């Protein structure tokens, strides 16, 4: 594979991920719409609904990128609430910050941080979300433990991520789409097929629904469940502290 992804050393992964997101940041939103045919908007809307967000709450969106979730959270929590958009990658963070400020969302806070070691005190947030971010994190168990630590008791974590299609025929079509259409589209729009090859590979490597649920439980979350979206191409996991 392009990055020798199957054999790449753990410590090299972070460098590859950084490379990918520096490269795609400027065209990230356009590519998201093209690749998912706009459906990522519905997946994100469902995430907001299941978050149960209310006025005055404190929300952390990890791997927040260009701010799709943070923007809606900012509207929902109002001036008495707090929304923090955290991302490890300063290119993505800058695109997100510019977009939100241009849209009039001036109260969102931006923090450059690694999900594995979140720089917040214990028991800070009512809601934590991570959308299409966890599969890029090198040590997912450490990230889940870190999220658990900064979540308030009774707070909830929502993980929106690519998962395993639940029907075999869909899995085959989807695999073909990921490994041929996505890189071609990436090449056309961003002149960067490799980053989109990485994307397809990272989706294939990501833990399936049950495994991720178990990982959440191992990190201490309770009442963990998940919803398959679009036939399991994506799943939304939820758990409480
Ligand atoms: N959440 C946004 C969305 O759904 O559109 C952006 C998702 S984008 C596919 C993945 C993001 O994860 C990138 O912005 C990347 O920089 C960020 N990321 C990768 N590894 C990370 C880590 N270890 N900690 C925090 N963010 C990370």
Write down the mean pLDDT value for the chain.
Answer: 91
ipTM above 0.95, yes or no: yes
pLDDT for position 221: 98
Given this model, what pLDDT does residue 6 score?
46
81 conformational bin, left if phi > 0, alpha if psi -120 to 50, beta if neither: beta
| pLDDT of amino acid 118 | 98
> Is 139 annotated as ligand-binding?
no
> Whose CA is closest to atom 19 on ligand 1?
136
> What per-residue confidence (pLDDT) applies to 3?
46
pLDDT at 4 over 50: no
| Coil vs helix vs strand at 135 | helix
Q: What is the reported pLDDT for 8?
A: 56
Look at residue 78 and tell me whether its pLDDT is greater than 90: yes
What pLDDT, on a 0 to 100 scale, did the predictor assign at position 2? 45
CATH numbers and ranges of domains, the chain = 31-164+207-240 (3.40.50.150)
- Higher pLDDT among residues 177 and 123, named by residue: 123
Per cent of the chain over pLDDT 90 is 66
Is pLDDT at 77 greater than 90 in this prediction?
yes
Question: What's the pTM?
Answer: 0.94
Position 72 pLDDT exceeds 90: yes
Per-residue model confidence as pLDDT tens digits over 40-50: 999 999 999 99
Rounded average pLDDT over 189-202: 83
Judged by DSSP in three states, 222 sits in: strand
Q: Binding residue per annotation — 87?
A: yes
Atom of ligand 1 nearest to the CA of 44: 4
Q: What is the pLDDT of residue 9?
A: 64
Please give the average per-residue pLDDT across 186-197, as a whole number. Answer: 84
Q: What is the pLDDT of residue 240?
A: 98
Residues 148/79, Cβ–Cβ less than 8 Å? no
> Distances from the Cα of 231 to the Cαs of 52, 93, 166, in angstroms?
24, 31, 6
Q: What's the whole-number mean pLDDT along residues 148-173? A: 94
CB of 132 closer than 6 angstroms to any ligand 1 atom: yes
- Name which of 87-96, 155-164, 182-191 the model is least confident about: 182-191
Going from the Cα of 130 to the center of ligand 1, the distance in angstroms, rounded, reads: 8
Q: How many helices (H) and strands (E) does the chain have?
A: 10, 7
* 71-75, 112-116, 193-197: the lowest-pLDDT one: 193-197
The DSSP call for residue 180 is: I
Q: Is 51 in the pocket of ligand 1 (CB under 6 A)?
A: no
DSSP-assigned states of every residue in 59-112: EEEET-TT-HHHHHHHHHH-TTSEEEEEES-HHHHHHHHHHHHHTT----EEEE
The secondary structure element, H or E, covering residue 17 is: helix 10-24
Distance (Å, whole) CA 100 – CA 34: 21
Residue 138: which H helix or E strand, with range?
none
Q: Is 170 exposed, middle or buried (0-12, 13-18, 19+ CB in 10 A)?
A: middle
């Amino acid at each position: 594979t392009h990055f020798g992804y199957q054999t790449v050393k753990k410590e090299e992964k972070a460098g590859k991920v950084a490379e990918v997101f520096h490269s795609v940041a400027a065209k990230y939103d356009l590519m998201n719409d093209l690749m998912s045919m706009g459906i990522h908007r519905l997946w994100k809307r469902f995430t907001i609904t299941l978050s149960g967000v209310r006025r005055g709450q404190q929300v952390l969106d990890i791997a927040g990128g260009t701010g799709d979730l943070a923007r809606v959270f900012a509207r929902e929590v109002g001036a008495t609430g707090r929304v923090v958009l955290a991302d490890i990658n300063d290119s993505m963070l800058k695109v997100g910050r510019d977009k939100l400020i241009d849209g009039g969302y001036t109260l969102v806070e931006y923090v450059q941080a690694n999900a594995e070691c979140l720089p917040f005190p214990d028991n800070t947030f009512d809601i934590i979300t991570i959308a299409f971010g966890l599969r890029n994190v090198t040590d997912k168990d450490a990230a889940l433990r870190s999220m658990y630590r900064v979540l308030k008791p009774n707070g909830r974590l929502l993980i929106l991520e690519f998962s395993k299609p639940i029907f075999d025929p869909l899995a085959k079509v989807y695999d073909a789409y990921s490994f041929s259409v996505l890189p071609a589209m990436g090449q056309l729009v961003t002149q960067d097929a490799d980053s989109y090859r990485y994307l397809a590979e990272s989706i294939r490597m990501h833990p399936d629904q049950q495994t991720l649920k178990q990982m959440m439980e191992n990190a201490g979350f309770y009442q963990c469940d998940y919803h398959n979206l679009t036939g399991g191409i994506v799943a939304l996991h939820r758990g409480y502290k």
